[in-house]
Amino acid sequence: MQDFETPLAGVAAADQMTLRRSNLAVVLRALRDGGPRSRARLASDLGLNKATVSSLVAELAERGLVREGGVERGGIGRPGLTVELDGQSVCGVGAEINVNHVATVALDLTGEVVSERRESLDTVRLETAEVLDHLAELVALTFDDVAARGARPVAVTVGIAGLVDGSRSVLTLGPNLGWHDVPVATMLRDRLGGPPYPIVIDNEANLAAIAEAVPGDLARRDMLVIFGEVGVGGGIIADGHLLRGRLGYAGEFGHMIVDPQGRRCGCGRIGCWETLIGLRALLDAATDIDDPVRDPALGLEERLVEINRRASLGDARTLTALAQVGGWVGVGAAALANALNPGVIVLSGYFAVVGEWMREALETRLHEGVLAPQAGGTRVEFSTLGFTAAVRGGATVALETVFNDPTRVERRAAAPTGGSR
């Protein structure tokens, strides 16, 4: 009977530690998602006692993660000093291996860009090891940028187009790179001399999706991101979290069969969505085979500038092609919207550049195709992140290590400044 006789036993030390760590994370995320606030407002917003909040804020400040901000007015009682995220101490690093380039970005805790680097590279022709050499060099330069600011990296996330086995940090299949079973994270770690922070890899389109999830935007808590270049992929944000599926392969929208009587895809199947909405489908519909816009020497961005120019001049063939592709984007988006009822569909990659010319056809087919009234409340938006979405998403994921557990950043000497209320 002994155990039933001690119902008032206190919460033990180990549990207190877990609670404390979890509460530190709650406060840090609240400042990220809802902006700077006084301790009093943090306490009432989070349902925590004010003394607890003050203690948590003090510890976060010791770890260099928050600092005093401006004066808060308009609340109840006398004005208080706000607390805000401190961008000075740590950075998350995102990296990317793409068909045409390697790239990195470092974001501080507030999401500000601290470093952004890109190197054009014909990754398909190079050996895998050589590509990793280039990437490691770029990451090392990014670390220099971070160090020059007095900050340090907390983690690196590498985005790659292809099937990623996250549990082993291995690229299972990168069809456009021609890579199979490449242990990308290990290879990068070796080249960087075995740094003490996590290096993980993730699917590029998944990272692009994460980059779109604006903290605090409710509609974007249930979001579908469709990312198109030559290939088409994307990511699903469900209730604020990336949906990865059983083995991390979720988001391969490009190979949904949308038109079973359609064209053969690079993957061998007939009628994949990619064959209808990938960049090649647009070029095929908008241009003849000898059109200068198809010149292999042209970069993706230059091609899109030219297509935008023709559309602006009212070129009928270009406009018809954009509407046709937009319609097919709408058909597939409707299928996904019936399944997922997202608050927002974000079109990223090349869609973000020429998408306004697609919007009417796209929205028409979307609304026709969704059973729920008004397309279930789904809005269509175009990404504003350009082709940096994947590296930004990688840096965001890297920063999550701190937002999930602020104690990963060591305490430093007591902050020289600070105040109360």
What part of residues 242-271 is at the interface with a second copy (CB under 8 A)?
Answer: 243-253, 255-261, 267, 269
Identity of the residue, 24 or 105, whose beta carbon is nearer to a second copy in the bound complex: 24
Burial class (CB in 10 A: 0-12, 13-18, 19+), 78: exposed
Q: Of 220-239, which residues contact a second copy (CB under 8 A)?
A: 221-222, 236, 238-239
Q: In whole angstroms, what is the distance from residue 163 CA to residue 187 CA? A: 17
Q: Does 71 engage in binding with a second copy (CB under 8 A)? A: no
Strand partners, 67: 84
Q: In whole angstroms, what is the distance from residue 240 CA to residue 216 CA? A: 10
- Closest contact distance (angstroms) between CB of 73 and a second copy is 19
Identity of the residue, 42 or 91, whose beta carbon is nearer to a second copy in the bound complex: 42
Contact 366, 376 (CB under 8 A): no
List the structure tokens of 388. Answer: 């940096």
- Closest contact distance (angstroms) between CB of 113 and a second copy is 30
Identity of the residue, 258 or 395, whose beta carbon is nearer to a second copy in the bound complex: 258
Exposed e or buried b per residue across 409-420, where buried means at least 16 C-beta atoms within 10 angstroms of its C-beta: beeeeeeeeeee
Pairing of strands 199-203, 80-85: unpaired
Identity of the residue, 23 or 388, whose beta carbon is nearer to a second copy in the bound complex: 23
Contact 272, 257 (CB under 8 A): yes
Burial class (CB in 10 A: 0-12, 13-18, 19+), 290: exposed
- Cα 409 to Cα 42, 142, 401: the distances in Å are 22, 20, 10
- Closest contact distance (angstroms) between CB of 117 and a second copy is 31
Question: Residue 38 phi/psi, 5° resolution?
Answer: -70, 160
**Binding characters for a second copy, 149-168, by CB under 8 A (x = yes):** --------------x-----
Identity of the residue, 308 or 338, whose beta carbon is nearer to a second copy in the bound complex: 338
Identity of the residue, 46 or 141, whose beta carbon is nearer to a second copy in the bound complex: 46
Q: Of 8-27, which residues contact a second copy (CB under 8 A)?
A: 8-16, 18-20, 23
Contact 354, 304 (CB under 8 A): yes
Closest to 86 (Cα-Cα) out of 27, 129, 134, 41: 27
The residue count for the chain: 421
Q: Does 214 engage in binding with a second copy (CB under 8 A)? A: no
Q: Does 72 engage in binding with a second copy (CB under 8 A)? A: no
Tell me what percent of the chain is helix, strand and coil, each rounded to the nearest 5.
45, 20, 30
Identity of the residue, 141 or 340, whose beta carbon is nearer to a second copy in the bound complex: 340
Q: Of 104-123, which residues contact a second copy (CB under 8 A)?
A: none
- Closest contact distance (angstroms) between CB of 298 and a second copy is 29
Candidates 111, 166, 215, 343; binder of a second copy (CB under 8 A) is 343
Q: Does 62 engage in binding with a second copy (CB under 8 A)? A: yes
Candidates 120, 217, 241, 295; binder of a second copy (CB under 8 A) is 241
Q: Does 2 engage in binding with a second copy (CB under 8 A)? A: yes
Q: Of 163-192, which residues contact a second copy (CB under 8 A)?
A: 163, 172-173
Specify the stretch interacting with a second copy by CB under 8 A; choose among 58-66, 88-96, 110-118, 134-142. 58-66
Identity of the residue, 21 or 359, whose beta carbon is nearer to a second copy in the bound complex: 21
Identity of the residue, 172 or 308, whose beta carbon is nearer to a second copy in the bound complex: 172
Candidates 210, 304, 334, 397; binder of a second copy (CB under 8 A) is 334
Q: Does 407 engage in binding with a second copy (CB under 8 A)? A: no
Sheet containing strand 232-238, strands side by side: 241-242, 232-238, 223-228, 344-349, 379-382
Q: Does 421 engage in binding with a second copy (CB under 8 A)? A: yes
Please give the single-letter amino acid code of residue 333.
A
Q: Does 416 engage in binding with a second copy (CB under 8 A)? A: no
